[in-house]
Homo-oligomer: A and B are copies of this chain.
Amino acid sequence: MEKSKEKGLKLTPQRMVLFHILSEDDRHMTADEIYQKARAEHPMLSPATVYRNMEQLVEAGLLSHLDLGGPSTRYDTNLDDHHHFVCEKCGKVMDVYLKDIRYELDPEKSDLSDVRIDSSQLYLHGVCGECG
């Protein structure tokens, strides 16, 4: 029986708290926002633990990074294939599901014949209904 090399992620109280917060679906949070929420449930918890765990969860494929322009990395609990709309005024982020996305390279200006594309992310920028 071969022992897999995967890290055994232990189920600790701190992680339970993080799972709980993440499951409450307040998506697109920064590590610090998560930390602020988490310490309410678990006051001893340190920021390092949150940062550490968030990255581990990304490595484990349970979360993904969300790279909006701001200073802090955000985490996305939604692993479905989806894209994002960002309101330039209030900063709100909305998930965008597409049935189809297609694009045609401009062959005179771009040559991607020797690259392998694994994924694509579309970011739509604009103004949301409330701010509009």
Contact = CB atoms under 8 A, between A and B. Distances in A.
A101 to B, nearest CB: 4
Interface string A62-92: 0001011100010000000000010110000
B104 A98 contact: yes
A6 interface: no
Interface of A: 65, 67-69, 73, 85, 87-88, 94-106, 109-110, 112, 114-129, 132
27 contacts: A67-B67, A69-B73, A85-B112, A85-B115, A87-B115, A94-B112, A95-B109, A95-B110, A97-B105, A97-B106, A97-B109, A98-B106, A98-B110, A99-B106, A100-B104, A101-B103, A101-B104, A103-B122, A112-B124, A114-B132, A116-B132, A117-B124, A118-B125, A118-B127, A119-B126, A121-B125, A123-B123
